Amino acid sequence: GENVEQHPSTLSVQEGDSAVIKCTYSDSASNYFPWYKQELGKGPQLIIDIRSNVGEKKDQRIAVTLNKTAKHFSLHITETQPEDSAVYFCAARGGSYIPTFGRGTSLIVHP
């Protein structure tokens, strides 16, 4: 089955800096890669996703890149703000149609 590794587990940045979270996956058949943000006491919420026929996707301060050859994808947050503080999860969906989640990255943005 699919295996997703996510790094780092904790990321601390100053407000205004950029943050990058990286994930690798094992199933070359994976074709859908969503990113979720989980705030304290809430369920994960989709913030951006990318499909295997696209190399990069941007939505305001958030961007995701995908390297299918290397089987890794990354989340980039620019001009971080305190409200970006949360746990971020990557996921990969392969042939089973069921997404496999990474272990999560706790992002802390210091004012």
The number of residues in the chain equals: 111
Beta bridge partners of 5: 24
> Nearest approach, Cβ of 97 to other proteins (angstroms)?
3
Find the part of the chain contacting other proteins (CB under 8 A) among 21-29, 43-51, 59-67, 74-82.
43-51
Nearest residue to 3 via CA among 78, 76, 104, 101: 101
Is 42 one of the binding residues for other proteins (CB under 8 A)?
A: yes
- Binding pattern for the stretch 49-68 against other proteins, x by CB under 8 A and - elsewhere: x-------------------
The CA-based angle 8-43-103, given to 5 degrees, is: 25
- Binding pattern for the stretch 82-101 against other proteins, x by CB under 8 A and - elsewhere: -------x---x--xxxx-x
Residues in 17-36 at the binding interface with other proteins, rule: CB under 8 A: 32, 34, 36
Cβ proximity of 16 and 110 under 8 Å: no
For residue 6, give the 3-state DSSP assignment: strand
Residues at the site binding other proteins, with contacts judged by CB under 8 A: 32, 34, 36, 41-46, 49, 89, 93, 96-99, 101-104
